Amino acid sequence: MIQTPFKDGQTYENDTITSPEDRLKHFGQEDHCRIYSAHDLKKRLEATNFAKIKIREFSNNDKNDIYGLKATEAIIEVIK
């Protein structure tokens, strides 16, 4: 299971942003250097020959309290 902050659209990366303050501003956390889109991360994982990759998005009808996820969160299930 992979969980990371995801965004809509394309993955946002910028390796010139190095200060903790700027990383917080751009990526939402001082130690992050990118924000993935779920679909882009799935493509990157597929390129490394994982056998099965599935994006799981949850809705208000799911029992998210079991997983500790919000209704708007997504996780990626990966099998090698």
Q: Residue 36's CB: how many other CB atoms inside 10 A?
A: 20
Residue 41 neighbours by CB under 8 Å, 6+ apart: 2, 4, 6, 11, 76
| pLDDT digits (tens), the chain, 80 positions | 898 888 889 999 999 999 999 999 999 999 999 999 999 999 999 999 888 999 988 766 656 555 677 667 788 999 88
- Domain residue ranges in the chain: 12-79
* Alpha-helical runs (H) found in 1-80: 20-27, 38-46, 64-67
Supply the pTM of this predicted model: 0.77
